[in-house]
A and B are shown apart, each in its own frame.
Chain A
């Protein structure tokens, strides 16, 4: 979790290896329109200690499931339209597992990382977006 601008290229470099034939990346960005309302910015709130542990656990789960190396970073604070809010990179021997790992990581982030976003609109009050209720994940 970081308040600094994300650097997807740095994440790609971090998971690159001469043994790899593929690096896949996913970058989530702030959209200008949501549910018919014009958005000017999104604020990201998070419970940092648990969020960072969950990101590490998700990356480790991906690396256990596929022969990949994963790097992930998520923004906090207020972001303007177009800014990167989350970046994921997966390096692997072949493209299939790199794409699969990226997809897995973003879906798990949305399901279990304690992050919340409040949209700020060109007109009217901001709104916290609905999300997924958390559940204990340990056995």
Chain B
């Protein structure tokens, strides 16, 4: 199934726009999704260092299945 992953922070400079759509197996985990994203990013894959996936409610651990709803790929944060 196709899922849209929103991109933030430095990932916006990857030349992929503000989101990327990837084809994932049903009940894909965050770990599987990051692996697919690595391929989608190609030469820009080093930008994925330290990134995590999150829903609009929480950060996902690598073994979590993707929940329905919005999904975002989040680089290390630096608010304040």
Contact = CB atoms under 8 A, between A and B. Distances in A.
Interface of A: 28, 44-47, 49-51, 53, 74, 85-86, 106, 109-118, 128-138
A132 B70 CA distance: 22
A136 B58 contact: yes
Given A50-B72, A132-B78, A134-B59, 20 more contacts: A28-B80, A45-B8, A47-B6, A47-B56, A49-B56, A53-B56, A109-B80, A114-B54, A116-B8, A116-B75, A116-B77, A116-B78, A128-B9, A128-B75, A130-B76, A132-B77, A133-B52, A134-B52, A135-B52, A135-B59
14 contacts: A45-B8, A47-B8, A47-B72, A47-B74, A50-B72, A86-B79, A109-B80, A110-B79, A114-B77, A115-B79, A116-B10, A117-B79, A134-B76, A138-B58
A114 B72 contact: yes
Interface residues of B, number: 27
Contacts, number: 97
Interface of B: 6, 8-10, 12-13, 50-52, 54-61, 64, 70, 72, 74-80
